[in-house]
Chain A
Amino acid sequence: MDVKSEIAGKVWKIVTAVGDTVGEEDEILILESMKMEIPVGAPGAGRISEILVEEAESVQEGQVVARIEA
């Protein structure tokens, strides 16, 4: 499962790690955009297999920022 950013912005904080188990809509990382902290949630439950961005990195709308194995 691809975890996509729904907004362009900067990665502010990564609050999970590879291997973590998450439920649907759990926060995986937090972006900073429009002067707000915007959580990026899990599209479904599973285990985080990849985190593809680093803190302070810029991301585009629709960019895959992490992957989850169901």
Chain B
Amino acid sequence: MDQSKQNAPGTGVRADLQAVLDAHAATQDAARKVAVDKQHARGRCTAREGIDQLLDAGSFVEYGGLAKPATKGMQGAADGLVMGTGKVDGRPVAIVAYDYTVYAGTQSAVNHGKISRMFQYAERQRLPVLCWLDGGGARPHDMFVQSMSMSTTFVTFSRLSGLAPTVGIVPGRAFAGHANLAGLSDCAIATKSASMGMAGPPLVEAALGMKLTPEEIGPADVHMKAGSIDLLAEDAADACRLARKYLSYFSGPVAPVAAPDAAKLRDMVPESPRRAYDVRKVVEGMVDADSMLELKPAWGRAMVTALARIDGRTVGVVANQPMFLGGAMDSPACAKSARFVELCDAYDIPLLLLCDTPGLMVGPEIEKTALVRHSARLLSALANATVPMMTVVLRKAYGLGYYIMGSRPLHPAILLAWPTAEFGGMGLEGAASIIYKQELEAIEDVAERAEAHRAFTAELKAYNTSLRVGERVGFDDVTDPADTRRILSATMDTFPEPPRRTTKKLTVSPI
């Protein structure tokens, strides 16, 4: 009799099955106590613990768990990459998780093959992909394995964006190839203690002669301020919660929740047109309670980009932020918003634009940052988006800034203005100087001329208040701030269902 068909001693299970069960068991955390304890001692959780927190309980189906390193003499569970399919809030996803306890989570010849397999499956099924990026780039030992240089990992992953949401989570350290996957993700999330970089300490030392720790090269707060990551998490558990929350905006409507107190919106914009206020509070007052998820809050701070819901339906909010640069649109803010518009358009999420800007930022310094191109990119993203957009002018609507922020030529589904709205093709003081140039030059007395300039400016302001512009149908209505949410929700009722897509609409650019 074939030995493999005999029961293993004392188990009642056939030996061939027992061998498989044993091989699988050896890859689990319970069988790898020393390695798991070491990871916990670093204050970090294992890849499998991460997967457990990301997926619905019991939904994980593992692929390639029995993989072993290609290089002779090396051992490592699943060759350092735990992957498969599962569910998040009942919806299918693909998940790939680098296991730091196996050669620091490095990318090997074999696990490159594994991950490409998973990405290709996700591509075919249009599955959202969650990447747990805990590792230090390529595994140098595998450089002698021929297939190492033929990996399609990054090419395939690049193509996924726009087909289904991709999320990169950096729970500890992500360098080189791991950072590259974070950079290619639609949404990158890092914990506060995480570090990330295109090159880790050994490469930095070899190239620059600087001996630095991973945290000195690329701490999470640097990446938040530079716009490399979208969300900063307290810890790994919080990162998993944020990843699940992020995905929830891409999976259709949810049951509506309580609306915030609408009357509060009436006092959000200060009476003085010169005073700043936090536009985040306006967004929070307009959307479903606790539904606002701001992306890249520490970069491009002159604008706020956030996913949110109105009566259970996802909306992408792009808002000027008067708290930073007075809401003047600078290059980082334009770049951030352009990319966010692409993200929403790619996944058929309607846009809500909240305008309060004195215009694009001006001056020689800002021109050095290619504002000419970055502002054009935002305008281009909006002009080419096919998702419906809605605009609310909260206060200032000046110049090209307003033109970009959902003005009439962009054909918003509805264009509303609050009573505090003020309009101008350019700043009205400047406009008065140009329009009344001859009249002003004719006045010799300086004080008298300044007074005349003030009067001309006031005249232009009076012509451009929300009521006057409303009379000329410069927008669809002037609205009570407290009624805005109801109008937006009713407008969303008029939107057609997005078409059922079998191909991608567009790729979301990495930055």
Contacts and interface: CB of A to CB of B under 8 A. Distances in A.
| Chain A partners chain B | yes
Interface string B263-303: 00000000010111000000000000000000000000000
Size bin of chain A's contact surface:
10 to 19
B427 A35 contact: yes
B326 interface: yes
B363 interface: yes
B324 A6 contact: yes
B323 A36 contact: no
B327 interface: yes
A70 to B, nearest CB: 17
A45 interface: no
A36 B274 contact: yes
B69 interface: no
Contacts of A39: 276, 323
Nearest to B427: A35
Contacts of B327: 34, 36
B365 A35 contact: no
Contacts of B363: 8
Contacts of B323: 39
B325 interface: yes
B276 A34 contact: no
Given A6-B324, A8-B363, A8-B365, A35 B429 contact: yes
A57 interface: no
B333 to A, nearest CB: 12
A35 B324 contact: no
A6 B325 contact: yes
Contacts of B358: 34-36
B325 A38 contact: yes
B326 A38 contact: yes
B222 to A, nearest CB: 15
Interface in A47-67: 61
A33 interface: yes
A14 interface: no
A8 B36 CA distance: 52
Nearest to B274: A37
A34 B326 CA distance: 7
A7 interface: yes
A48 B171 CA distance: 36
A36 B429 contact: no
Contact of B276 (A8, A37, A61): A37
- Of B325, B327, B359, chain A has the most CB atoms within 10 Å of the CB of B325
Given A32-B274, A35-B326, 16 more contacts: A7-B325, A7-B326, A7-B328, A8-B365, A34-B326, A34-B362, A35-B274, A35-B429, A36-B328, A37-B274, A37-B275, A37-B326, A38-B325, A38-B326, A39-B276, A39-B323
Interface of B: 272, 274-276, 322-328, 358-359, 361-363, 365, 427, 429
Interface of A: 6-8, 32-39, 61
27 contacts: A6-B324, A6-B325, A7-B326, A8-B363, A8-B365, A33-B325, A33-B326, A34-B325, A34-B327, A34-B358, A34-B359, A34-B361, A34-B362, A35-B274, A35-B429, A36-B274, A36-B326, A36-B327, A36-B358, A37-B272, A37-B274, A37-B275, A37-B276, A37-B326, A38-B324, A39-B276, A39-B323
